[in-house]
Structure 1
């Protein structure tokens, strides 16, 4: 895994997409969700986390911790 933000989520490879989204939402600062101007950036971040998780599942990676 090359994405350090995804690694900081600390999710197992068996986690669902919904669990990835919940962890990604919690990883952001609470004030970030209140700023309307950051909406596109938040959506981009969530998609990036889902892509990294899908790639990890496709590769059959095991947890690194």
Structure 2
């Protein structure tokens, strides 16, 4: 099952990790990005988006035959 937050990024399977990270940063509200106390939560969110993308790429790389 894919993370709904990752699905909202709307990225193709071929997107690079840097593209995923940029999309995840843009997905957060500027006020959320500005709060220092949320730093650990933001880092977890970015890591979850990267992991979801890697899992999607791994699932897409499997042979379908």
Q: Which residue of 1 aligns with 2:60?
A: 60
The structure with more radius of gyration: 2
1:45 maps onto 2:55 in alignment: no
Please provide the CA RMSD for this pair.
1.1
Runs of 4+ in 1 over 6 A off after TM superposition: none
In structure 2, what is the Cα distance between the partners aligned to 1:34 and 1:60?
Answer: 35
Structure 1: which 5+ runs fail to align? none
Mark the runs of 5 or more structure 2 residues left unpaired by the alignment: none
> TM-score, length-normalised on structure 2?
0.90
Match of 1:3 in 2: 3
CA deviations over 1:13-42 (Å, ceiling 9, x no partner)? 000000000000000001111100000000
Query: Normalising by structure 1, what TM-score?
Result: 0.90
How many residues align? The count is: 61
Q: 1:2 deviation in Å?
A: 2.3
Corresponding residue for residue 25 of structure 1: 25
